[in-house]
Structures are given as structure tokens and as C-alpha cells.
Amino acid sequence: MPTAHAQTSRLTANGPAAWRASVVTLEPPKRDPFDLRLSLTPVWDLRSGLINGSTIARSERSGEVAAADLEEVDVASFAYAAAILEDEGDVERLRLPVSFVTLATQRARERLLRLTDSVRETMRTAVVIEICNLDAVPPSRLMEVAGLVRGL
């Protein structure tokens, strides 16, 4: 379970939500803790030249996230998205990255659902789940997992 040791500008930011950021220290079981920076980044629609929503940008300070830690990163991302949706309420097109390996297990999906219970209806209308880390995933398995996620 992620533990937030250091919260930065997300709670004290002035201005649009697109500039808010949070640093969370994740403590995966049996591995070293690491800092994860979560922020909202605007998404530009090149055809119209306008901002067309936001995406949750995730960056770990020491580089690549180990495959075993992807679920913890996804849980922190979902918690961050839930906080944004609770604060803002009327967010349009929030892109939320989540790794395939997290979505592929029932336990992890249920864990993500519990985090977003309070904003479930808003998530259904405002959030686009972006499935990441699709290295060598057969198309049939991807379709199966996408079908399971559709109801989130």
C-alpha cells in the first residue's frame, strides 16, 4: 500500500489543476522505497490547437520502475486521480495510465476499484484508462482484459 511521506504542491497549488503535482514515497513489500512524482499534464489537440484534457504523468526519480512495483505505481495513480476528481469535480477527459499486469489480476482491479468508490460516476464519464506496458501481450488477452475494465 502506498504511503505518502511527502506531499508537495498538489495541496497548496494556486491556479489550474494542470499545474498541480504530488510526490509520494511508495514502500513496496520486501523492496526499497522510492519516490514517485505524479502530476497533471495538459494534452494538446493539434487539430484545434486547444487543450483537450489532461493526463496523469508518472515519473520515478531513479528511472525505470521495476515490474514488481507497477501495481504500487498504479494504485498511487488511481488515488491521485480520485483526489483530483473529488477536488475538481468537473474534469474533462482525464487520461489515467495503468499497466496491463495490474489490470490482468482480479485482486489488483478490486484494489483500484476500492480507491475510486467515491468518484465512480465521475470516472465513468471523465476518465479514459490508458493501458500501458503491453510488451508481448497477445491480442486476445488484451481484448479480454479491456472487456473486464470497460465496466470500471
What pLDDT, in 10s, does the model give residues 52-110?
788 888 876 555 667 778 888 899 999 888 888 887 766 678 899 999 989 998 899 88
The predicted model gives 2-13 an average pLDDT of 35
Q: What is the mean pLDDT of residues 47-51?
A: 83
Instruction: Please say whether the beta carbons of 17 and 84 come within 8 A.
Output: yes
Residue 36 pairs in a beta bridge with: 24, 60
**3-class DSSP assignment, residue 102:** helix
Kindly tell me if the per-residue pLDDT of 131 is higher than 80. Answer: yes
- % of the chain surpassing 70 pLDDT: 80
Q: CB burial class (10 A; 0-12, 13-18, 19+) of residue 17?
A: middle
Statement: residue 15 has pLDDT above 80: no
Q: What is the C-alpha to C-alpha distance for residues 52 and 43, in angstroms, rounded to an integer? A: 6
pLDDT tier at 13 (50, 70, 90 boundaries)?
A: very low
pLDDT score for 63: 53
Q: What was the pLDDT predicted at 10?
A: 33
What is the spatial distance between Cα 121 and Cα 58, in angstroms, rounded to a whole number? Answer: 24
The pLDDT of 120-139, averaged and rounded, is 85
- Strand ranges across the sheet with 50-60: 21-26, 34-45, 50-60, 94-99, 127-132
